[in-house]
Amino acid sequence: MYFHGTSKINEKGHLEIGGVDTVDLAKKHGTPLYVYDVSLIRERARGFKRTFDKLGIKSQVAYASKAFSSIAMLSLVNEEGLSLDVVSGGELYTAIAANFPVDRIHFHGNNKSIEELELALDYNIGCIVVDNFYELELLQQLCIKKDKQIPILLRVTPGIEAHTHDYILTGQEDSKFGFDLQNGQVEEALRRSLESKYLNVLGIHCHIGSQIFDTTGFILAARKIIDKLAEWNNQFSYFPSVLNLGGGFGIRYTDEDEPLSPDSYVSEIIIEVQKRTRFHNLSMPEIWIEPGRSLVGEAGTTLYTIGSSKDVPNVRKYIAVDGGMSDNIRPALYEAKYEAILANRPTDEVKEKYSIAGKCCESGDMLIWDLPLPNVESNDILAVFCTGAYGYSMANNYNRIPRPPVVFVESGEDQLVIKRETYEDLIRLDLPLQSKINL
């Protein structure tokens, strides 16, 4: 079993994270429970920043808060000196509530509403990543109305197919995101932006996909964009100060995954950007990246209590946990794979394979298939690793199941940072029926 960060087996023979016994955490906060290893998040954040510093490259490392957004999380991101990527009014509102420095917030999205763009302008955020012509026009009109200038990046789709699942692949030509780099769209967007006295084009953005294990896709995308920049330098006398290469750095969910270190991802990409800009006799732009999963994914563990079981003789054994696709939809959504152990007796001899079912009314609500475990009993605590990214942030109330709480653990202490939803929370927005039938 591969342990991330501070996870280890303690003297009681239990799984411990951040110096805190997970069996005690399950007792104190109940299950399901998301547990975040804060020092691992800090280590990852510092790792990315250190690599840029070592290479002497001006940069911003923007945490993609879609991976996991909460007030405490964004405060931690701010403590570590990172910037922030938001993709909705709700993520922006959370950042403001966390007192995140507005000049380090970047706003993404392929269909930002007028209200969202106005919010961004009113808060004077660092930049808006413009995705399409509709948004470009809308933003221009809102800037005129408010008589405000706004820094922007233009998002491009470089025509790169990263090797990952179809649903998390975004850099190919046939994508809902961004201006096409090949067919003249991006030149038109750049021309219109440069003509506007309200839009300050800081540079170009691309994001080629997620859970990517090598740098080939990033390198190809960077090359294509820099070749374009060389053309634009001649055509428009324009050279961007920022090149944002997005996120997507893979992590290790299971043995099958072999990610590079943050250091290797960043240095290999930077070296290529340096080579290519030098080749075209261009100056080196500031490099921004947007890691989400690679900052928080491995830092998160979900604790569940085992409940019922079902034996299908000669086929498989199912055991059910007190959560499922309501707190982790990734296996059902795109066949994501996870590893898990019994947190209360991780060293017991592994006896057979169990398939871990959730409690939602969907046959597809399976968290892990054929997981080797010791003989499992009801009330054992199952710890599923690497649930820190797109777990809580994609959690839902299917079957009106309340969302679990989140605790941060660090230096032997635990801190509740998101409370467990209650049944009252679930009906908080419901209104009674105004019946039209006289009974």
Residues in contact with ligand PLP by CB under 6 A are 64, 66-67, 85, 108, 207, 210, 246-249, 290-294, 389
Q: Do 279 and 223 contact (CB within 8 A), yes or no?
A: no
Choosing from 127, 143, 361, 386, which is the catalytic residue?
361
Q: How far is the CB of 168 from ligand PLP (least distance, A)?
A: 7
Positive/negative CA dihedral, 365, 26, 29, 78: negative
Cβ atoms of 129 and 152 within 8 Å: the answer is yes
Nearer to ligand PLP, 246 or 331 (CB): 246
Asked whether the beta carbons of 88 and 131 are under 8 A apart, the reply is no
242-244 and 199-205 beta bridge pairing: parallel
Residue 64 CB-half CA count within 13 A:
25
Which neighbouring-strand residues pair with 272? none
Residue 349 buriedness (CB in 10 A; 0-12 / 13-18 / 19+)? exposed
Using omega within 30 degrees of 0 as the cis cutoff, is the peptide bond preceding 331 cis?
A: no
Beta carbon of residue 206, minimum distance to ligand PLP (angstroms, whole number): 9
Exposed / middle / buried, residue 389 (Cβ in 10 Å: 0-12, 13-18, 19+): buried
Residue with Cβ nearer ligand PLP (95 or 356): 95
Only one residue has tokens 């007192």, namely 99
Least distance in Å: CB of 403 to ligand PLP?
Answer: 20
CB of 86 to ligand PLP, least distance (A): 11
Partners of 84 in beta bridges: 63, 105
State which residue, 218 or 249, has the beta carbon closest to ligand PLP.
249
Cα 320 to Cα 347, 357, 388, 403, 406, distances in angstroms:
21, 5, 21, 17, 21
CA dist., res. 290 & res. 65, Å (int) = 9
Q: Residue 184: is it exposed, middle or buried by C-beta count within 10 angstroms (0-12/13-18/19+)?
A: exposed
Q: In terms of CB distance, is 285 or 402 closer to ligand PLP?
A: 285
For this structure, is 143 an active site residue? no
CA 230, distance to chain mean position in Å, is 32
Residue in the shown chain whose Cβ atom is closest to ligand PLP: 292
Which parts of 210-355 fold into alpha helices (H)?
216-235, 262-279, 293-296, 330-334
């269909």: which residue's tokens? 111
Q: CA-based diameter of the chain, in Å?
A: 82
- DSSP symbol at 249: B
Q: At closest approach, how far in Å is the CB of 389 from ligand PLP? A: 6
Alpha carbons 110 and 113: distance in angstroms, whole number: 10
Query: Smallest distance, Å, CB 299 to ligand PLP?
Result: 13
Any idea which residues carry the catalytic annotation?
Answer: 361
